[in-house]
């Protein structure tokens, strides 16, 4: 499964725990909080001021 902007962070972390450092490297340190677990990657990027396409690229590289 490719990771997309609409992917839910909690689902990505459950399926690909190796992506946690990628999220943390851009300032998403609250990976365990209920809000982030149910939030899409695109929504989280807007909150954190991160370019979603760049994060998606890094996440997909991490799962290869």
Per-residue pLDDT tens over the stretch 19-64:
999 999 988 877 777 877 889 999 999 988 999 999 999 999 999 9
User: Is 54 part of a structural domain of the chain?
Assistant: yes
Beta bridge partners of residue 40, listed in sequence order: 8
What's the number of CA atoms in the CB half-sphere (13 Å) around residue 56? Answer: 16
User: Is 4 part of a structural domain of the chain?
Assistant: no
User: Is 3 part of a structural domain of the chain?
Assistant: no
Evaluate if residue 9 carries a pLDDT over 90: yes
How many domains is the chain built from? 1
User: Is 55 part of a structural domain of the chain?
Assistant: yes
Structural domain harbouring 45: 9-62
**In angstroms, rounded to a whole number, what is the distance separating the alpha carbons of residues 55 and 64?**
15
User: Is 42 part of a structural domain of the chain?
Assistant: yes
User: Is 2 part of a structural domain of the chain?
Assistant: no
Evaluate if residue 5 carries a pLDDT over 80: yes
């Amino acid at each position: 499964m490719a990771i997309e902007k609409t992917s839910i962070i909690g689902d990505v972390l459950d399926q690909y725990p190796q992506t946690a450092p990628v999220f943390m490297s851009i300032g998403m340190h609250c990976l365990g909080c209920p809000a982030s677990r149910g939030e899409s990657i695109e929504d989280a990027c807007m909150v954190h001021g991160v370019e979603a396409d760049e994060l998606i690229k890094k996440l997909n590289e991490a799962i290869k």
